Amino acid sequence: MTVRRYSARMLAAVAAVLGMTTLSLGAAAYPDKPVRLIVPAAAGGTTDIASRLVGKRLGELLGQPVVVENRAGAAGIVGVQALRQAAPDGYTLMMGNIGPNAINYALYKQLPYRPEDFAPVTMVVSVPNVLVVNAKVPARNVAELVALARSQPGKLSFASSGTGQSVHLSGELFRKRTGIDIIHVPYKGAAPAVADLVAGQVTMMVDNLPSSLAHIQSGKLRALAVTSAARVAELPDVPTMKEAGLDDFQVTAWFGLVAPAGTPPAIVARLQKTVAGILAEPEVKTRLAELGGVPGGDTPAHFGKFIDAERARWARVVKDTGIPLQ
């Protein structure tokens, strides 16, 4: 080997070691400034609730504020665009969910992002949906609601937190499985949709349990069925969709942290480990349980495979319901 070639190889090896050292030092120093947590939904919904619950504690453990930023609009696409424009340095995260990270790929002809644009961090929480009606609606169960809708075709309406969210697809599934004619009314988030449902502006909603639970408990909304495989502890008298007579109607909404693709693996690993620890804390577990949620905390690899499977599953659901592509 010539002296020149030997020197070149030595320089390359030194550069590689220096690069790894720099990455390690950068990860060790992370974070040295506030972290932004994008919520691709309006305030008050489950995405927002999960973000603020985890974000507050995450900031305490990281030693830097975690600033929650609501970027609602276009079925989560506005929030995703904000994430894509951020540097992959661990200082911008997003609370991904079933809508922008799974359903949208089948619902939109063209999306300004791809699955490869995200670095999965960890699942935060999964929750069932619940079929609720305004307390003044005469239906006391699913069968009575279906009969009411059939007696007034095209008159009843179902609210959603926006086109493409699990709340929307659950409503479409209900319409498909029962064969009723009801009108979809999309909102820019769960909070305004639930507010109009409480006010009687719309008839029903298959909402994420956390954003409707307080209104169910106060008597402002009536729960007719949950979309989980088994009844939930918070609503022990409310049947599952299967018990109510609707087979093949199991929906679980999920919410989890993602980062821009290219975020250093060491930073992703640190975030996952920290969030998993938060989700195991008794106070956090209790709060999530009160909302009907199951905490996550899985590895980035496991969460990534889960998202891939959800994307395929909801592609089949969208095709089954016959929803026109947006």
* Strand partners of residue 132: 205, 223
The shares of helix, strand and coil residues in the chain, as percent rounded to the nearest 5, are 50, 20, 30
Closest C-alpha among 192, 258, 149 to residue 42: 192
Report whether pLDDT(5) > 90. Answer: no
∠ CA 168-193-246, nearest 5°, is 40
Contact between 54 and 48 under an 8 Å Cβ cutoff? The reply is no
Q: Where are the domains of the chain?
A: 33-126+253-321, 128-226
Helix or strand or coil: residue 7? helix
What is the average pLDDT across 148-172?
93
- Model confidence at 141, pLDDT cuts 50, 70, 90, reads very high
Report whether pLDDT(19) > 80. Answer: no
Report whether pLDDT(163) > 70. Answer: yes
Q: Give the pLDDT score at 212.
A: 94
Contact between 302 and 285 under an 8 Å Cβ cutoff? The reply is no
* Strand partners of residue 186: 160
* Strand partners of residue 62: none
The dihedrals phi and psi of 99, each to the nearest 5 degrees, come to -70, -75
User: Residue 92: which residues within 8 A CB-CB, separation 6 or more?
Assistant: 35, 36, 38, 82, 83, 86, 259, 260
Superfamily name with CATH number, domain 128-226: Periplasmic binding protein-like II (3.40.190.10)
Query: Does domain 33-126+253-321 correspond to CATH entry 3.20.20.140?
Result: no
Q: Which two tokens stand for residue 15?
A: 């550069």
b/e burial code for range 160-169 (CB count within 10 A of at least 16 → b): bbbbbbbbbb
pTM: 0.85
The model's pLDDT over 89-123, given as tens digits with 9 standing for 90+, comes to: 999 999 999 999 999 999 998 999 999 999 999 99
**Structural element, H or E, at residue 38:** strand 35-39
Torsion of the alpha carbons at 139, 144, 150 and 153, rounded to the nearest 10: 10
The model's pLDDT over 227-286, given as tens digits with 9 standing for 90+, comes to: 999 999 999 999 999 999 998 899 999 999 999 999 999 999 999 999 999 999 999 999
Q: Give the pLDDT score at 246.
A: 95
Tell me if 33-126+253-321 shares its fold with 128-226: yes
Pairing mode, if any, of strands 92-97 and 183-186?
Answer: unpaired
- Model confidence at 45, pLDDT cuts 50, 70, 90, reads confident
**Structural element, H or E, at residue 102:** none
d(CA 190, CA 138): 23
User: Residue 217: which residues within 8 A CB-CB, separation 6 or more?
Assistant: none
- Model confidence at 162, pLDDT cuts 50, 70, 90, reads confident
Report whether pLDDT(149) > 50. Answer: yes
